[in-house]
Chain A
Amino acid sequence: MQKEILEHGLNMNRRRFLSRMSLGLGSVALGSLLIPDLFSKSEEETVLTGLPQFAPKAKRIIYLFQNGAPSQLDLFDYKPLLQKMQGEDLPASIRMGQRLTGMTADQAKFPLAGTVFRFGEYGQARAQISETLPYTASVVDDLCIIKSLWTEAINHDPALTFFQTGAQVGNRPSMGAWLSYGLGSENKNLPAYCVLLSKGKGNGQGVYSKLWTNGFLDSVHQGVQFSSGENPVLYLANPEGMDKEDRRRMLDKLSELNQASYAEFGDPEINAKVQQYEMAYRMQTAVPEITDMSKEPESIIKMYGPDCLVPGTFAANCLLARKLSENGVRFVQLYHQGWDSHGNLPAEVRSQCKDVDQASAALITDLKQRGMLDETLVIWGGEFGRTNYCQGALSKENYGRDHHPRCFTVWMAGGGVKPGVYGETDEFGYNIAKDPVHVHDFHATILSLMGLNHEQLTFKHLGRRYRLTDVAGNVVKGLIA
């Protein structure tokens, strides 16, 4: 531990030193795409003061975002009362006039809908988990299940944006960009912040590149989207008919010409450019090696499920996330679409769970067996929850649920979190009964696990010091081991 603090301190000193140096040499980009010793110009990089004095518990994050908002009431937050009161109107004393979306605000009634799924109790914390998540239930003792998350947004776009950037609107940096900015890169061949997308069969809501934006931070901190096509990173592959050796020949000539230009102009940007071409060249080797699943042993394939060999599936992305993480990628962000179950919820939830359950659990197990779970924080959850009352027609077997920002469930694992169940909702599953965790608190806690003080990770932009947590947020001590 002492050693970690020391190493951390050294890193910070190096950063500060570089930042100081920047007064004389053009600032240093500390970003996701940077070779550690390379000086590069970055317009608005400022000196960070007072970065972490404490050792990080987690070094890396894998965020399994469940886009569209999974129903907490059908997965983790079991409410037998809803089954008992099936079809009865949501009492006004519970709703308390809180706002609803335009989709159900005009409904004459708000009939309560109990889950169709069976729940069981699992693990030391006796956590309740739905039958649709058997694999997740099997790793329950590693999970920190937060039942009391809440957000301010009630529609997908602002809610997602809020989760990823700490603000509902505005072009703010995303969480991964903040971490890239605050902690820099751990490797020389890969971006520090990678984004992987997949789609389920349920009602989908789009994702958008603003979610992995660098905002006002330097664009070296933006998330690099991996795709499942032949080119995992945009423009990575050499054109047809050109191999690695041939690219090397070209780069050698190019560097010879660029160096002559440097001799004439003396602009440090020219050398920086040469270095960036070299890193591009290294990425061309490193990325295909990582995305190649063919060398994974049978046991791993079995663990993640056969889908993990189908590029672009959630399972394949989980396995890829593990490999990226293993190679020092600071932040791997997954998005899995399809959780927006306004209608036909039981069937959609079943199908969504089938897509994600096994691989999510496999990722935990896999990280654990590699000794990586302690320093890798895994997060699973959506942008808000779903209502306890039915949207549209309610039958015994079928119902839908509208958006519900006031309470929902997210789980975390590894990276220094405390396994167990945190927070409680009321018996209607409508309001939080105990230990609320606001999105800002959630962000503050994640940064804290990464060794960063959320009030000190700031960037001055247009006259104001911005933070991921805006002007709020408290570290939730109860979530930390």
Chain B
Amino acid sequence: MPKRITSVVLLMVISISVFTFACNNQKSGQAIPETVSYNFNIRPILSDKCFACHGPDANKREAKLRLDIADSAYAPLKETKGGFAIVPGKPEESELFKRVSSVDPTYQMPTPESHLGALTDHEIALMKKWIEQGAKYERHWAFSTPQKPTVPKLDDDKWAKNEIDHFTFKKMDEMGLKPNGEADKERLLKRISEDLTGLPPSLQMMDDFLNDKSDNAYEKAVDRLLQSTAYGEKMAVHWLDVARYADSYGYQDDNIRTQWPWRDWVIHAFNENLPYDKFITWQLAGDKLPDANKEQILATGFFRNHKYTEEGGVIPEEYRIEYILDKTKTYSKGIMGLTVECAQCHDHKYDPFSQKDYYSLFAFFNNTKEVGYEGDVSQSKPAKNPLLTIDNEDRKKLMSFINFKDTGSLTVSVMGDQDTLRKTYVLNRGVYDAPTYEVRPAALPAVMSFDTAQYPRDRLGLAAWTVNKNNPLTARVYVNQLWQDFFGRGIVKTTGDFGMQGELPSHPELLDWLAVDFMEHGWDIKRLVKQIVMSATYRQSSKVTEDKLSIDPENIYLSRGPRFRLSAEFVRDLVLASSGLLVRTIGGPSVKPYQPKGLWEMATSGRGVLATYKQDHGDALYRRGMYTFIKLTVPPPSMIMFDASNRDQCEVKRSKTNTPLQALIMMNDPTVLEASRVLSQVLNKEQTATKDKIAKAFRLIVSRKANEKELQVLNSYYEEQLKLYKDKKLDAALTLKVGEYARDEKLDANQVAALMKTISTIYNLEETITKG
């Protein structure tokens, strides 16, 4: 049986035609390319199977052999006289090939004890051909400065709308795929509306767009959305994950903190379209800029969002070090797309980062004035040193984006360095009380050299190094994060790992073209976003055929439009916006909407002001999801169940699951039920036929007109429900009890309840919370 499956797969692959190289070369049954590439074919195998013992980590290196560097791999073996790991051109003389192809457990590599698993036949064949062709090593693709590739010429460019499409079409063509046509106007509008503002289109927007028959109707709609302030809110959500933003200190007593002015700044920065190089520079080192203003200092709150302990009895230095480790991780994962933290305890096993490199990077952050412990929860303050004080005057002038009703001052935790440099040591095994030798601040040399003539050895120097146009990672990593937001999958699937163990880009030339183009145009984020949504690739219909599903189940080659569930925050926003409940205030202190009873109380130590959940009332119940209060130890359940980040650490990618708990939320969460009731009330006040009310509700919620079949099903449900209420089989008063929003007693309760149930059903449609 297994053999038969393999041969079927083989046949399929052959019939797909020539498959030169692809992003994932580990699938079995794949053809061997004409020229085997180190970067695309060999390094992933070596990295996965060999580098753990024969890689960059000097302490774990076996037989003094490293295979990540050509010189070492070609050199005579130190422990096998007369042997060579690799003899270019001669696989049969190469110990590497002999061992990976052996079945003798005492001889084969990887060893059975390593549990790494033997190489597949395909991998062995690749290895053989690579050595035959000279075993040529290449620099890791992500550590080479991107060059702008030529845009591929297409024989038929009727489909293409901009450069992006040239790259994607070429790839589809290689795979034997054809692009889908453009999505219908209604679905397209929902797609851009959700992607650019995180909100569904209003009726007015839908009508305007459908009626606009001009050639640039789509572009006009895109421009309008990009100008909306909701754009900044939408864009901020991903960055809040990167920055692990939360409203409490975390750890067990988990008291409240005031970091939200920083969050308001992020929204403002996106709406002002602050170029990405500045966006990063301010957050990394705004306090160190010449004549730094308060806005630039506030931006450095980025590095202060992590958890702070208020547990009595901790050893302060242990936590101070923990905070610096967190900063280092957030920088390296969120901005550099690297898993540098492996080198906290030992040289990195896969990437060329030594422990010394790690602590040199760590040293940039280690000069902060902050301490490990400022006292226990009874002494808790809204911010911890160093602080930025923002008074009413500041908010009238420079910082009018901070939404604070009060006239008092606000304090926020920000970055600020000591006058005398704190010494940084390499910590043995990453333990705070095991310093070894001293290091000075320097950025990762394997990525790009840190020339101290050019860059000062402080955070400002690190920022300049980061946004230097020769830095191979910064632009690629951000372009990729944005791409992931729109397509559900990055061009590099492992958004947080551009290193050796990360996946290779599915469209390497496209990624480089976008990254260079982004830098050439002043790191203009809105321009990049517009470029993506204007492409034909993005505008395709998301219909899936059996054929496409079998060739490309994950839509790696983009021959159909993106179709996936909305992120947690935007599920809530859709419910509130479509029902008319949404309160569109931007920013300010986070709010506490409905939440199941007892959650905070069950898990608290009983100390601190967040021991009990004090639900808000009025407008605060109807704010966008991104303003829901995040208590780190008990993050908001309806967000977490929809895969929101728990904000414990820097996250660059959310999973997208589909669970029964999500179904329960959509069916029973008072937020959804109240929205259904309120929308039902509104519609019941209109002098229209029931059928029209249902049609309007459907359009508001699903962002398109319902078809006849849908209307018929929903109408029959409504009639059935109405009868049950009239016959007293169901009690309308009970149904309508949900939520604090005022009930309109003048309306017929049975009709309001029946329509409410119908609307609630529409909220539960798969399509409703899907961007398709």
Residues of chain A at the chain B interface (Cβ within 8 Å): 20, 23-26, 29, 33, 40-44, 49-50, 99, 101-105, 154-157, 169-171, 197, 199, 204-210, 213, 218-220, 222, 224-225, 227-229, 231, 233-242, 246-247, 249-250, 253-254, 256-258, 260-261, 264-270, 272-274, 276-277, 279-280, 283-284, 312, 337, 402-403, 455-456, 458, 462-464
B559 — which chain A residues lie within 8 A by C-beta? none
Question: Does B620 sit within 8 A of A, measured CB to CB?
Answer: no
B731 — which chain A residues lie within 8 A by C-beta? 241
Q: For residue B496, which residue of chain A has the nearest CB?
A: A462
What are 28 A-B pairs at a CB distance below 8 A? A33-B659, A42-B657, A43-B655, A99-B315, A102-B315, A103-B313, A104-B313, A205-B605, A206-B606, A208-B633, A209-B603, A209-B634, A219-B643, A238-B667, A239-B670, A241-B730, A241-B734, A246-B724, A250-B667, A260-B709, A265-B772, A266-B544, A269-B658, A273-B766, A274-B766, A277-B660, A337-B605, A462-B497
A261–B767 contact, CB under 8 A? yes
Given contacts A26-B554, A266-B546, contact A254 B497 (CB under 8 A): no
Given contacts A462-B494, A463-B501, contact A171 B373 (CB under 8 A): no
Chain B contact residues: helix, strand, loop or mixed: loop
Alpha-carbon separation in the docked complex, A205 to B253 (Å): 8
Flag B245-287 by CB within 8 Å of A: 1 or 0 each.
0000001111000000000000000000000000000000000
Contact of A102 among B373, B565, B761 (CB under 8 A): B373
Known: A42-B657, A462-B502. 9 other contacts (CB 8 A): A33-B660, A40-B657, A234-B637, A241-B735, A250-B667, A269-B564, A276-B659, A456-B115, A462-B501
Given contacts A41-B656, A206-B605, contact A464 B314 (CB under 8 A): no
Closest 3 CB pairs of A and B: A463-B501, A241-B734, A208-B633
Question: Does B83 sit within 8 A of A, measured CB to CB?
Answer: no
Given contacts A250-B761, A462-B496, contact A169 B322 (CB under 8 A): yes
B603–A101 contact, CB under 8 A? no
B602–A227 contact, CB under 8 A? yes
What's the nearest-Cβ distance from chain A to residue B761, in Å? Answer: 6
Question: Does B710 sit within 8 A of A, measured CB to CB?
Answer: yes
What's the nearest-Cβ distance from chain B to residue A406, in Å? Answer: 15
Q: For residue A249, which residue of chain B has the nearest CB?
A: B720
B765–A261 contact, CB under 8 A? yes
A276–B663 contact, CB under 8 A? yes
Alpha-carbon separation in the docked complex, A26 to B488 (Å): 14
Q: For residue B753, which residue of chain A has the nearest CB?
A: A241
B349 — which chain A residues lie within 8 A by C-beta? 464
B673 — which chain A residues lie within 8 A by C-beta? 239
A155–B660 contact, CB under 8 A? no
Alpha-carbon separation in the docked complex, A65 to B633 (Å): 18
Q: For residue B731, which residue of chain A has the nearest CB?
A: A241
Question: Does B454 sit within 8 A of A, measured CB to CB?
Answer: no
B544 — which chain A residues lie within 8 A by C-beta? 265-267
Question: Does B21 sit within 8 A of A, measured CB to CB?
Answer: no
Alpha-carbon separation in the docked complex, A208 to B311 (Å): 14
Question: Does B649 sit within 8 A of A, measured CB to CB?
Answer: yes
A209 — which chain B residues lie within 8 A by C-beta? 603, 633-635, 640, 646
Question: Does B543 sit within 8 A of A, measured CB to CB?
Answer: yes
Given contacts A229-B597, A276-B660, contact A258 B766 (CB under 8 A): yes
What's the nearest-Cβ distance from chain A to residue B409, in Å? Answer: 30
A208–B254 contact, CB under 8 A? yes
B714 — which chain A residues lie within 8 A by C-beta? 253, 257
What's the nearest-Cβ distance from chain A to residue B196, in Å? Answer: 22
Residue of A42, A105, A236, A463 with highest tally of chain B CB at under 10 A = A463
A272–B717 contact, CB under 8 A? no
Please give the number of chain B residues whose Cβ is less than 8 angstroms from any Cβ of chain A in the complex.
Answer: 106
Question: Does B583 sit within 8 A of A, measured CB to CB?
Answer: no
A102–B316 contact, CB under 8 A? yes
Alpha-carbon separation in the docked complex, A33 to B641 (Å): 12
A206–B658 contact, CB under 8 A? no
B312–A261 contact, CB under 8 A? no
Alpha-carbon separation in the docked complex, A322 to B252 (Å): 29
Contact of A220 among B311, B500, B657 (CB under 8 A): B657
A25 — which chain B residues lie within 8 A by C-beta? 553
B542–A240 contact, CB under 8 A? no
Contact of B658 among A24, A40, A250, A284 (CB under 8 A): A40
A253 — which chain B residues lie within 8 A by C-beta? 713-714, 716-717, 761
Alpha-carbon separation in the docked complex, A284 to B661 (Å): 11
Contact of B655 among A219, A266, A272 (CB under 8 A): A219
Contact of A155 among B313, B597, B668, B733 (CB under 8 A): B313
Alpha-carbon separation in the docked complex, A210 to B760 (Å): 32
Q: For residue B554, which residue of chain A has the nearest CB?
A: A26
Q: For residue A99, which residue of chain B has the nearest CB?
A: B315
What's the nearest-Cβ distance from chain A to residue B717, in Å? Answer: 5
What's the nearest-Cβ distance from chain B to residue A240, in Å? Answer: 4
Alpha-carbon separation in the docked complex, A169 to B564 (Å): 32
Alpha-carbon separation in the docked complex, A242 to B770 (Å): 26
Given contacts A253-B713, A265-B543, contact A235 B603 (CB under 8 A): no
What's the nearest-Cβ distance from chain B to residue A215, in Å? Answer: 9
B635 — which chain A residues lie within 8 A by C-beta? 209
A257–B603 contact, CB under 8 A? no
Contact of B661 among A204, A224, A256, A266 (CB under 8 A): A224
A266–B545 contact, CB under 8 A? yes
Q: For residue B717, which residue of chain A has the nearest CB?
A: A253
Alpha-carbon separation in the docked complex, A20 to B1 (Å): 13
B661 — which chain A residues lie within 8 A by C-beta? 33, 224, 233-235, 280
A225 — which chain B residues lie within 8 A by C-beta? 599, 602
A229–B596 contact, CB under 8 A? yes
Flag B605-642 by CB within 8 Å of A: 1 or 0 each.
11000000000000000000000000011110110110
Contact of A257 among B550, B667, B713, B730 (CB under 8 A): B713
Question: Does B27 sit within 8 A of A, measured CB to CB?
Answer: yes
Alpha-carbon separation in the docked complex, A24 to B547 (Å): 11
What's the nearest-Cβ distance from chain B to residue A77, in Å? Answer: 22
Question: Does B130 sit within 8 A of A, measured CB to CB?
Answer: no
Alpha-carbon separation in the docked complex, A23 to B738 (Å): 45
A279–B660 contact, CB under 8 A? yes
Flag B136-161 by CB within 8 Å of A: 1 or 0 each.
00000000000000000000000000
Alpha-carbon separation in the docked complex, A118 to B611 (Å): 37
What's the nearest-Cβ distance from chain A to residue B314, in Å? Answer: 5
Alpha-carbon separation in the docked complex, A266 to B545 (Å): 6
B494 — which chain A residues lie within 8 A by C-beta? 462-463
Question: Does B54 sit within 8 A of A, measured CB to CB?
Answer: no
A224 — which chain B residues lie within 8 A by C-beta? 661
B709 — which chain A residues lie within 8 A by C-beta? 260
A222 — which chain B residues lie within 8 A by C-beta? 640
Contact of B648 among A23, A26, A171, A312 (CB under 8 A): A171
Question: Does B737 sit within 8 A of A, measured CB to CB?
Answer: yes
Question: Does B499 sit within 8 A of A, measured CB to CB?
Answer: yes
What's the nearest-Cβ distance from chain B to residue A312, in Å? Answer: 8
Given contacts A210-B646, A283-B660, contact A240 B312 (CB under 8 A): no
B309–A157 contact, CB under 8 A? yes
A210 — which chain B residues lie within 8 A by C-beta? 633, 646, 648
Alpha-carbon separation in the docked complex, A242 to B254 (Å): 38
Alpha-carbon separation in the docked complex, A249 to B724 (Å): 12
What's the nearest-Cβ distance from chain A to residue B479, in Å? Answer: 19
Given contacts A29-B657, A33-B660, A265-B563, contact A234 B596 (CB under 8 A): yes
B596–A171 contact, CB under 8 A? no
Question: Does B11 sit within 8 A of A, measured CB to CB?
Answer: no
Alpha-carbon separation in the docked complex, A250 to B543 (Å): 27
Question: Does B163 sit within 8 A of A, measured CB to CB?
Answer: no
Given contacts A41-B656, A204-B606, contact A464 B501 (CB under 8 A): yes
What's the nearest-Cβ distance from chain B to residue A182, in Å? Answer: 15
What's the nearest-Cβ distance from chain A to residue B370, in Å? Answer: 17
Alpha-carbon separation in the docked complex, A453 to B732 (Å): 56
A403–B313 contact, CB under 8 A? yes
Alpha-carbon separation in the docked complex, A283 to B667 (Å): 13
